[in-house]
Chains A and B, each alone.
Chain A
Amino acid sequence: MRQAITTDIAVVGAGPAGLAAATAARRSGATVLLIDAFAMAGGQYFMQPVSGVNTRAQVRAGNAAIRAAAAVGVKMLTGTEIFAAYPGFQLFGSGAQGAVAVNASAVIAATGAHDRVMAFPGWTLPGVMTAGAGQRLTKVNGVLPGRRVVIAGSGPFLWAVAQSLLDKGADIAALVEARHPSPSLVAHLAVFPERWLETVGLVAPVLREVKRVVFGRIVAEATGDGRLEQVAIADSDGTRAETLTGIDALLISYGFQPNLEITALLDCVHDFDDALGGWYAVVDGDTGRTSIPGLYASGEVTGIAGARPALLSGELAGLSAAAALGFATDSSDAKLATLRQRLARARRFGHGLGRLFVPLPELDRLARPDTILCRCEEITRAEVQAACGEGADNIYGMKIWTRAGMGRCQGRLCRMSLTACIARATGRSPRLVGFNHPRVPSRPVPVEQVLAAMQEVGAAVPGPAAKLR
């Protein structure tokens, strides 16, 4: 089974940014294909439940955005992951609906982000998961990640996850935030009165219903016999403070890192900023244009900033992409200027939060010599440090030296831990340490599905035999 689709604009990722981009581009008159890896559109922020009605405003807004996209004639292809992208543009995907080959004149990458994970002793125990995964379990399937849960890490997302779990009646033993509420946080919030209501709505129910909210502390270790039982909490310098017992789920997150698969496969310029989630796709702020003509990016892939900038940058990228293909926009210059101003302001808010909740610089020291940093290949911190001593001094060098990052996840999960460990051991900056460049396929795909997607290409042409390499 294979679908071949030709479209003016292909939007990859159906979260807030992708939905806004697709709707705006379609309204301008372009044909638009919106593709998402998950069974339902929405992404992490606008995530929709498998069944039943969720009355939360965020879920309803997501539902409205999905219906709006469908109403204007955006073609939706969910449950389909794009595993290859080529200039021009040609995208190949696979999934529940079979293989797909897409020809598009422009591509908008709205691929979002995933949890940033820093390895610590016990992080691979069953029961320990990323906050994003725990929230997805709860929001999509209505399944709680555990009976007694600890949520830990840093940043506003912890509070959103706590709310999702509280909605389903979770027993949250503690929420542990690495940072203290600071005067600079108050000063930052003070500048954005339009976000006060939202902030109170995020924080108040959690403060009311979660038994313990701990500031200025981190999870130093997870322990248990075969699965998670205890969570050791420490001061930010690593000094042990207390141990929480009887815990069967630990949801941990130090913010997000952009999903770079599409932008990296299409090879636009990327840059590094810890406050923006590490590596991100560089775009023109007003239009979402990347360094590759016809390739646009919007939302978290351009640097973590939150859902509001995602919606606004998505709309602007959709309008820009359509206009560049010659479709008249129904947006006046004044409306565009307003959108841009609102986006710039929303980004200032999000980036400011990113800077205030930037991961603690000492976090990577929690891992012990025998703590695994690369889960797929089971590479420990000691092995990574030893390789640094022998000449491996960037992500690529580490990969060929130790196989770290060479496994199934292709370095997504270990990116933060490896980068920090290499940077510390070699004294090189995280930018120089680099990232594991995604290659085709961006996720493991059965070869028969790859072949199905690429079936029209690859006619047999006789050529020379050569020496074995």
Chain B
Amino acid sequence: MDGCAFKLEIEDMGARLIVVGGGIVGVTIARELVRRGHEVLLLERDSLGAAVTGASLACIGTHMNSRSEIEILKWSCRAWSELDRALGGTMEYRNSGQIRFLKRAEDRKVAEDWIAFESAAGVPSELLEPAEVRKLEPLLTGPIEAATYATNAATVTPFLAVRAIAKDAVRRGIEMRLHTPVERLATRGGAVRGVVTAEGEITADAVILAAGPWTPRIAATAGLAVPIMPRKAQCLASVGVEPAIRSVIAACESTGGVAAGYTQIQQAPSGQILFNTVLAGGLSAEGAQDHVPEVDPVFVGNSIRQLLWLFPSLAGLELLRSWVRYEAVTPDDRFLVGATAVNGLYLAAGDGGSGFGRGPAIARVIADALEDRPPPFDASVWSPLRFARTQAA
């Protein structure tokens, strides 16, 4: 940790800490901090999980996700399973497994590389031929080339997870204030020592920003530039139907041009089929997250085509709802987690839409950083200081 980062002077008493943001990342951090004996105030500008979290598909796993974060993801997978037990099975946590379909023979090479990497890392996955895929997913009758399969993927129901974790944190003694936007950070002698809301200043020993795409705006009030931009992500949901899809279905990475794009299809415990396909990516304009539009017709068309290509028998499936969310994206598409160059200010943002899979590990890193301990895995890939040069600019 950097020398100028704030260190708690922990004796017997905990510190007074403010977590800004009531998404999956913020509530998980708040719960971890109160468990460790700190006094925690959680501030949320809207309702719990009202931005990225409530609009997420909440996939937890290690498969084809991020090579540089594989140990973190492994740790997080175990932590989710423990969290589910600790919270009494209230999150609809389900070990669903994950299938990545291949559209082209050339993509077998990509799949095999991943399988070799993951097997070496102790989280094996395998390559399945179409007939084997259909044993797992009888309705997946589309003309796929092959698919990978990883058994360790799980899902939770996003809003139930946020609710259960927040409820447990409140039970353990955090104070939670909803509909309380933070106007700016309160600084003393260059260090962050609280926040200012419409109701006035609230002092604290340190502030943790878990405010997703809104993080840069708040951090800027203490002079910290945070390289996070909003990125539009969209999803469709059907009405509840009989069990049809068991696993999380996604597209395999593809070599040179991604015809499959980014696809995710899964059936929630409610019976709703949730699906999306994004063929063209890209960042949105700054501030886009302040005004959420309807899903693009282009996106709707692509998503339905992809769903029916894989699952032709779902043509009569009724679409019920859609939504748009704005994820927080960093230049290297990885989180910013830990102490910053500003004393007393910590970041836990930059989800790229992947906050669920990483939530428990993020909470662990933040809590350990505040207490000046090393986390149980190498989290340097998340260091907010990796963009220090651009921040100084």
Contacts and interface: CB of A to CB of B under 8 A. Distances in A.
B43 interface: no
Contact of B248 (A90, A439, A463, A468): A468
Contact of A451 (B159, B251, B301, B323): B301
A444 B319 CA distance: 5
A287 B363 CA distance: 55
Contacts, number: 177
A232 to B, nearest CB: 34
Interface string A336-376: 00000000000000000000000000000000000000000
B122 interface: no
B178 interface: yes
A466 B262 CA distance: 6
A440 B295 contact: yes
A43 B288 CA distance: 38
Interface in B240-292: 240, 248, 250-254, 257-262, 264, 270, 278-282
Interface string A216-258: 0000000000000000000000000000000000000000000
Nearest to A458: B301
A394 B159 CA distance: 15
Contacts of A459: 298
A85 B261 CA distance: 26
Interface stretch (A13-21, A146-154, A194-202, A400-408): A400-408
Contacts of B295: 439-440
A391 B178 contact: yes
Contacts of B307: 447
A455 B298 CA distance: 9
A156 to B, nearest CB: 35
Interface residues of B, number: 80
A410 B320 contact: yes
B233 A447 contact: no
B47 interface: yes
A420 interface: no
Contact of A400 (B162, B259, B282, B293): B162
B176 interface: yes
A467 B353 CA distance: 8
B49 interface: yes
Nearest to B166: A391
B294 A397 contact: no
A301 to B, nearest CB: 18
Contact of B57 (A393, A399, A447, A469): A469
Interface in A421-469: 439-441, 444-448, 450-451, 454-455, 457-469
Nearest to B351: A469
- Majority DSSP secondary structure for residues of A touching B: loop
Interface centre among A84, A445, A464 (most CB of B within 10 A): A464
A461 B319 contact: no
B279 A465 contact: no
Contacts of B356: 469
A401 B315 contact: no
B281 A466 contact: yes
B321 A463 contact: no
A469 B56 contact: yes
A439 B47 contact: no
A403 B307 CA distance: 25
A441 B319 contact: yes
Contacts of B47: 392-394, 396-397, 400
B260 A465 contact: yes
Contacts of B54: 400
B258 A455 contact: no
B52 to A, nearest CB: 9
Contacts of A441: 319-322
A94 to B, nearest CB: 10
Contacts of A84: 294, 297, 300
B261 A468 contact: no
A444 B248 contact: no
A392 B319 CA distance: 27
A469 B319 CA distance: 21
Interface string B39-63: 0000000111110001011110101
A467 B176 CA distance: 31
Given A86-B294, A441-B319, A468-B65, A450 B279 contact: no
A450 to B, nearest CB: 5
A444 B318 contact: yes
A439 B321 CA distance: 6
Contacts of B330: none
B259 A462 contact: yes
A462 B279 contact: yes
Interface string B351-377: 011101100000000000000000000
B304 interface: yes
A406 B272 CA distance: 11
A390 interface: yes
Contacts of B262: 463-466
B3 interface: no
B363 to A, nearest CB: 19
B242 to A, nearest CB: 15
9 contacts: A86-B297, A396-B50, A397-B178, A460-B279, A465-B252, A466-B262, A466-B333, A468-B61, A469-B57
Interface of A: 84-86, 90, 92, 265, 267, 390-394, 396-397, 399-401, 403, 406-408, 410, 439-441, 444-448, 450-451, 454-455, 457-469
For the complex of A and B, 8 pairs with smallest distance between CB atoms? A458-B301, A400-B159, A397-B47, A469-B353, A444-B318, A468-B59, A462-B257, A461-B280
Interface of B: 46-50, 54, 56-59, 61, 63-66, 98, 153, 159, 162-163, 166-167, 170, 176, 178-179, 233, 238-240, 248, 250-254, 257-262, 264, 270, 278-282, 293-302, 304-305, 307-308, 314-323, 327, 333, 352-354, 356-357
Given A393-B179, A464-B281, 19 more contacts: A391-B178, A396-B47, A410-B320, A439-B294, A439-B321, A440-B300, A441-B319, A446-B318, A451-B304, A451-B305, A460-B259, A460-B302, A462-B258, A463-B261, A465-B251, A465-B262, A466-B353, A467-B357, A469-B354
